[in-house]
Structure 1
Amino acid sequence: MDLNTLIFGVYPYVAIAVFLLGSWIRFDHEQYTWKSDSSQLLSKKGLRLASNLFHIGIIGLFFGHAVGLLIPHSVFIALGVSDMTHQWIAISAGTVFGGMCLLGAALLWMRRMFTSRVRAASRWMDINILGWLALTAFLGLSTIPVSIQHANAGNAGTMILLAEWVQSIAYLRPNPELLRSVDLVYKLHLFVGISVFLFFPFTRLVHIWSAPIGYLGRAYQIVRSKRGLVRS
């Protein structure tokens, strides 16, 4: 088994298994650690900007990757989205959301490193996961110039290969050979991105599982104040 097969044929399933089983075990045995560990009370300086940039960026990247890579190529063609249109949309969205994510992650990392009160309350993994996510975003942005070159040459082959590889992993038919000829920067981005799933259960990222989606449709809460009733 060569390195390409090991990283892009076996490693994704190891990361996914740790991601799912690790999250389940942590929720079952360490529910008191199942939280985002907000540091807002320790220091508010720069937090709103950094947090909003990071969260908007990473959510945009998540859904962009999900739509762009998991939907079969034939569906885009049937919808009238050409390969070049698809590629330019991916480049544009990746630049915007990737830039937001990188800037937000970098600001949050610097805050945890250099704000004394936040640093004192931070765990090793809090700092490292922010750095790893920033690295993932940086490598993703590093693929943009290469993708632009491909798009200018009218070549969507790499984009299609990447999507077919992701679908082969998702459908339990791994085909690492699809990535053998892909540029190194894409492979580095994929490896670092896959590793996020491996680290996930051991970090504060587990709070994603408990995203309060129901909050959007909840009924108003009645809050009593000195000035009367307030709807919140």
Structure 2
Amino acid sequence: MSAGNILLWVVFPYVSMAVFVVGTIWRYRYDKFGWTTRSSELYEKTILRLGSPLFHFGILFVALGHFMGLLIPESWTEAVGFRQEAYHFIATYMGSVAGVATVVGLAILIYRRRTTGPVFLATTRVDKLMYVLLALPILLGLWATVQTQLLGGAHGYDYRQTISPWLRSLFYLQPQAQLMTDVPLPFKLHVTAAFLLFLAWPFTRLVHAFSAPLPYATRPYIVYRSREAGAGARPSRRGWEASAAPQGRRERPTSTRT
């Protein structure tokens, strides 16, 4: 096995995963105020309402498809009666629909951020790098699906025989880099871009993906009171106006002689 294969398919993935885990923990402990999406909804809502659901629902289905195809062994799915033909149909065609929705949603969000003045001014250099690193694996994954799955014959390329066991071997701490030797180039580029994204993930606002608003369902209601005149229990007065002395009692000024 060549040193390049070991560097690319063993060393780089482990470095990426280590930075991803340690960096995320560090970011949560020491940068909680920066753990946010830095929402720009106040600046523009119309385009956001179109692009955001497309991207987020698309990427959610893409992630679920990757989880099933890469982390669940083929023997497990076949044991429960889920044949390779059914999996290939779902992964190829439904995955393509989810991929297209993700690409279109991301394109809309980038267009909005570039053309809406206040949103563009609120975009940092890290945000621009994040969009590039986010778009790369998505576009390369869509390219790999079209070239090797849609146009690659009846069954396409069975990555569950190579990429999937290679990825699981990393978690077993028994890396099998030789499995990636004959993988088609689009898949190799897609995997490399994905680990590059994970490497930078903790230092971008993508960390908000790990923030689930679970306390929202149990938090108490927020009570809003009207500020109209006569709505409160006591009459309103100016903030700098001196308060009136209590009825029936007045304080007399005293003087001290020396």
Deviation of the 1:159 alpha carbon: 3.4
Deviation of the 1:151 alpha carbon: 5.1
1:230 is matched with: none
Distance change (3 Å), C-alpha of 1:123 and 1:155: closer
The separation in 2 between residues aligned to 1:151 and 1:30, in whole angstroms, is: 49
The separation in 1 between residues aligned to 2:143 and 2:28, in whole angstroms, is: 36
Deviation of the 1:219 alpha carbon: 4.1
Distance change (3 Å), C-alpha of 1:84 and 1:211: same
2:53–2:105 contact (8 Å) kept in structure 1: yes
SS at match of 2:43: coil
Q: What is the 5 A alignment of 1:14-163?
A: 14-145=15-146, 146-150=148-152, 152=154, 154=155, 157-163=158-164
> Looking at CA atoms only, which structure, 1 or 2, has the larger radius of gyration?
2
1:42–1:117 contact (8 Å) kept in structure 2: yes
The separation in 2 between residues aligned to 1:83 and 1:140, in whole angstroms, is: 20
Distance change (3 Å), C-alpha of 1:123 and 1:86: same
- Aligned AA for 1:115? T
- Give the structure-1-normalised TM-score: 0.88
The separation in 2 between residues aligned to 1:56 and 1:148, in whole angstroms, is: 23
Q: Which runs of 5+ in 2 are unaligned?
A: 227-258
Q: Which runs of 5+ in 1 are unaligned?
A: 228-232
Deviation of the 1:4 alpha carbon: 2.4
- Note if 1:210 corresponds to 2:211: yes
Percentage of matched positions with identical amino acids: 35
The separation in 1 between residues aligned to 2:62 and 2:221, in whole angstroms, is: 37
**If each structure's helix is expressed as a fraction of its own residues, which one has the higher value?**
1
Deviations 1:77-132, CA, capped at 9 Å, x for gaps: 10112222212211123201111111111111222222211111111111221232
After the TM superposition, which of the residue ranges 22-31 and 12-21 deviates more from structure 2? 22-31
- 4+ aligned runs moved over 6 Å, structure 1: none
SS at match of 1:46: helix
The separation in 2 between residues aligned to 1:116 and 1:108, in whole angstroms, is: 14
1:87–1:151 contact (8 Å) kept in structure 2: no
1:139–1:188 contact (8 Å) kept in structure 2: yes
SS at match of 1:13: helix
1:136–1:192 contact (8 Å) kept in structure 2: yes
The separation in 1 between residues aligned to 2:121 and 2:94, in whole angstroms, is: 36
- Cα RMSD for the two superposed structures: 2.0
The separation in 2 between residues aligned to 1:214 and 1:64, in whole angstroms, is: 29
Deviation of the 1:226 alpha carbon: 7.3
- Give the structure-2-normalised TM-score: 0.80
Deviation of the 1:186 alpha carbon: 0.4
Distance change (3 Å), C-alpha of 1:220 and 1:210: closer
